[in-house]
Amino acid sequence: MSAKEIASAEEAVRRIVGEDVARLLCPVLRDEHRAVVDAVERLPWGVEPVDVVGAQAVTMLCEATKSRGPIDPVADDADAPWARTLNLMMAAPETGSWAARRWVSHGEKLRWADAPVSSVFLATASYYAACCEDARGQDHGRWWWMQMASTETEADGRCGLGIVAVIRFARLCAWTTT
């Protein structure tokens, strides 16, 4: 989606969803995420192969993503550090797909251990996996991961969350790192 398309969709959706959901249209990198994001961005991106650096980054994110951790998956904004990292891998869709699937897997493992995990956190991860599968030309994989994202937002029950998650994903994909 172009910036203009994102803005147009956001304007239309803001009128039909509650403020608790509308706030998700604009992703925020929380202060408690900054140390993890900075450490990930200091990895040797562009020097080492992206799959090697990506594996290091995913390990760092998994270690930080836990209940009451620096990246608390119960928070809807917990997707922001992961999204910034995935954006560094999007030029290598095989690696991006692997990382997005590890993101989903980590969130599911936390849920299986009875830790609360935001549906937005898992929906965003699923959209990243779908995007990478699309870049790999894997139509079935793209479809499957989009269905996973849809299922996450549907089960949440917040009115309009599904379309908001799509717009949020588009905004997250446009984020650049510093």
Residue type, 121: F
For domain 3-174, give the fold: 1.25.40
Q: Largest Cα–Cα distance in the chain?
A: 46
**pLDDT tens per residue across all 178 residues of the chain:** 788 988 898 889 998 998 889 999 989 899 999 999 999 999 999 999 999 999 999 999 999 999 999 999 999 999 999 999 999 999 999 999 999 999 999 999 999 999 999 999 999 999 999 999 999 999 999 999 999 999 999 989 888 999 999 999 998 988 754 4
Nearest CA among 107, 90, 64 for reference residue 169 = 90
Q: Where are the domains of the chain?
A: 3-174
